[in-house]
Chain A
């Protein structure tokens, strides 16, 4: 890649994006709990308050409904607002503002109002935080017309997608994964933006298309390594934004491999995994050699004990055995859906 490539963490990539955008555009205001002098619960705003001050880094009490509504109102009135819910879980306190106000204002005003807003929250299981701090309902937002949803899996994508999200004139849910914050990866020093709706082909392969989101991308990569040793070739696709969704890249890949597995930390029912299966069935049903496979969290609240939580979330072992069975069972058949 470009010169000036460094290894930085997922969380620092976000801080860099914010620092560059806030320096570039004075209309940006960042609102959230603990995002000031403390630098964010996950250090996700470290150093920004020191650089941009109280005026633009609006540290708040614990008041997600109010803070989110304030961010939406500020965006309607001419600012660019970023509201940090810290944990995705706490968007629940503000759901009515996000769904009823942010998502509809542009449409209902006949395009006269714009809501340049980023709602930021980190999802997923980490260190057995328990049911109230581990939700993965990112796909809900995809059901609401007017909301875009970014789910970066790498530091490179965090930085490039965050900059795009901030410059978008509509509301964007920017959903990171808590367990990825300390992971590192290459990020160029030179500026770049990643357009929404462009999936990343993480790994090319010929036997099965694996669509994975957020933390599940790295688990899918580990599974691909293990299965390569058995002579199976996995193509891994990370959509990077689930809205807009890069249907073409997914459909092209499945047309080539004839098999689909979706790996998702969210549970199956009514979720992203089902959406991808539907897209594939609509676009390349005739190319499928086997029914699509979903490897998701079990539909139970996140349990506390490591023994329990470890059982419910997809693991590398579960992904390996699931995909192995998918490939082997369909190698000598045209289709196993019958």
Chain B
């Protein structure tokens, strides 16, 4: 197993990572608030606590690169560059949403931003991402595909078969496991005996890396190396980001029936925003005024998205048959 190494990015990059993570946090907390007010249809799975993974990985992606995501995918979409208003409008089921109101939280699609979909089926994105990487290899496009998935995905056949194809065909893909320790309520330690996802990379003869998923600096370092390897023809990498969701599995699950308050509190103390602030930004002299301003800007950014969504029209019911057939 490798350990992520590499120099720490400059302070401007660190600041932009902080802003990005803050945006994801504010976005999700706003979704929570709106969802609780009862106006959002469907179900939402929030990304709060895991922001360092999406932000750190997507830092090194190009617009034409591809991302396949999960049911907990708002953060991935935003980090890949899908406009917040289009994501929010989709959660509202509006015509202006990135899926025109046909998808919702678990079917966000924005291929024009290289965002190939959240997914309602755990692990289903792994073979899909592998196939997109095959297409990139065949077309010689130079694109890298990133596949996000949780620890809940790694005991499925899709994980095994997808990684096996990625490795044997040396595809330009990076498999990013967000190990938040619980698949719904099922503790990873009860689901499988080997506590390390990264170590499974050896089964496929690909590099496996384990990083602190709450430290965006560590995540981006691992991602830079893995994405660079994929882009230069070096094949896939499995990156395991150890992280934690601060909230329940979905909005409505308190998340406290199967996790102790002590455990939740311990992880909250390792909030990715605090980690970046305390380990890197404060020592670099970034002052409280900057953080206050960042907070204000992120709030305004989310507010604009919500206003856009609220004021967007519903899809025309008569269009419900459109796009069944290509």
Interface residues, chain A, CB within 8 Å of chain B? 27, 29, 55-56, 58, 60-61, 63, 65-79, 81, 96-97, 100-101, 104-116, 145-146, 148, 168-170
Q: How far is the CA of A108 from the CA of B145 in the complex (A)?
A: 21
Q: How far is the CA of A97 from the CA of B325 in the complex (A)?
A: 17
Contact A69 B326 (CB under 8 A): no
Contact with A along B107-121 (1 / 0, CB 8 A): 101111000110111
Contact A76 B326 (CB under 8 A): no
The yes or no answer to B292 lying at the interface (CB within 8 A) is no
Q: How far is the CA of A66 from the CA of B167 in the complex (A)?
A: 13
Q: How far is the CA of A108 from the CA of B119 in the complex (A)?
A: 11
In the complex, the chain B residue whose C-beta lies closest to that of A169 is B326
Q: How far is the CA of A79 from the CA of B100 in the complex (A)?
A: 24
Contact B325 A73 (CB under 8 A): no
Contact B130 A107 (CB under 8 A): no
Contact B169 A61 (CB under 8 A): no
Chain A residues closer than 8 Å to B220, beta-carbon distance: none
Quick one: given A55-B138, A110-B323, are A75 and B131 in contact (CB under 8 Å)? Answer: yes
Contact A79 B134 (CB under 8 A): yes
In the complex, the chain A residue whose C-beta lies closest to that of B109 is A109
Contact B127 A110 (CB under 8 A): no
User: What are 19 A-B contacts defined by CB distance under 8 Å?
Assistant: A29-B138, A56-B138, A61-B168, A63-B164, A66-B127, A69-B126, A69-B131, A70-B134, A70-B162, A77-B135, A77-B143, A79-B138, A100-B120, A108-B99, A109-B111, A110-B98, A111-B326, A112-B99, A112-B110
In the complex, the chain B residue whose C-beta lies closest to that of A243 is B325
In the complex, the chain A residue whose C-beta lies closest to that of B320 is A107
In the complex, the chain B residue whose C-beta lies closest to that of A148 is B325
**Which of A29, A69, A101, A112 interacts with B162 by CB under 8 Å?**
A69
**Which of B157, B161, B324 interacts with A145 by CB under 8 Å?**
B324
CB distance from A219 to the nearest CB of B (A): 32
Contact A108 B165 (CB under 8 A): no
Total inter-chain residue pairs, C-beta < 8 Å: 158
Contact with A along B223-263 (1 / 0, CB 8 A): 00000000000000000000000000000000000000000
Chain B residues closer than 8 Å to A72, beta-carbon distance: 127-128, 131
The yes or no answer to B177 lying at the interface (CB within 8 A) is no
Chain B residues closer than 8 Å to A55, beta-carbon distance: 138
The yes or no answer to B270 lying at the interface (CB within 8 A) is no
CB distance from A35 to the nearest CB of B (A): 15
Chain A residues closer than 8 Å to B99, beta-carbon distance: 108-110, 112
CB distance from B123 to the nearest CB of A (A): 9
Chain A residues closer than 8 Å to B145, beta-carbon distance: 77
Contact B138 A107 (CB under 8 A): no
CB distance from A80 to the nearest CB of B (A): 10
In the complex, the chain A residue whose C-beta lies closest to that of B129 is A73
| Smallest CB-CB A-B distances: 5 pairs | A69-B127, A73-B131, A66-B161, A110-B100, A109-B109
Counting chain B CB atoms within 10 Å of each CB, which of A60, A66, A73, A148 scores highest? A73
Q: How far is the CA of A81 from the CA of B130 in the complex (A)?
A: 13
Interface residues of B in 167-188 (CB under 8 A from A): 168-169
CB distance from A180 to the nearest CB of B (A): 28
Q: How far is the CA of A29 from the CA of B171 in the complex (A)?
A: 15
Contact A107 B323 (CB under 8 A): yes
Contact with A along B70-81 (1 / 0, CB 8 A): 000000000000
CB distance from B268 to the nearest CB of A (A): 34
CB distance from A32 to the nearest CB of B (A): 13
The yes or no answer to B66 lying at the interface (CB within 8 A) is yes
Chain B residues closer than 8 Å to A108, beta-carbon distance: 99, 102-103, 107, 109, 117
Interface residues of B in 310-326 (CB under 8 A from A): 322-326
Contact A58 B164 (CB under 8 A): no
Contact A112 B131 (CB under 8 A): no
CB distance from B94 to the nearest CB of A (A): 12
The yes or no answer to B217 lying at the interface (CB within 8 A) is no
In the complex, the chain A residue whose C-beta lies closest to that of B157 is A65
Q: How far is the CA of A29 from the CA of B133 in the complex (A)?
A: 13
The yes or no answer to B302 lying at the interface (CB within 8 A) is no
Quick one: given A69-B128, A70-B165, are A76 and B138 in contact (CB under 8 Å)? Answer: no
Contact B324 A73 (CB under 8 A): no
Chain A residues closer than 8 Å to B158, beta-carbon distance: 65-66, 69
In the complex, the chain B residue whose C-beta lies closest to that of A146 is B324
Q: How far is the CA of A336 from the CA of B138 in the complex (A)?
A: 61
Contact B323 A63 (CB under 8 A): no
Chain A residues closer than 8 Å to B46, beta-carbon distance: none
CB distance from B99 to the nearest CB of A (A): 5
Quick one: given A76-B116, A76-B132, A110-B109, are A97 and B124 in contact (CB under 8 Å)? Answer: yes
In the complex, the chain A residue whose C-beta lies closest to that of B127 is A69
In the complex, the chain A residue whose C-beta lies closest to that of B162 is A66
CB distance from A211 to the nearest CB of B (A): 23
Could you list 17 further interchain pairs (A-B, Cβ under 8 angstroms) beyond the known A66-B127, A74-B138? A63-B161, A65-B157, A65-B161, A72-B127, A74-B131, A74-B132, A75-B131, A77-B116, A78-B135, A97-B127, A101-B121, A108-B102, A108-B107, A109-B103, A112-B99, A116-B326, A145-B324
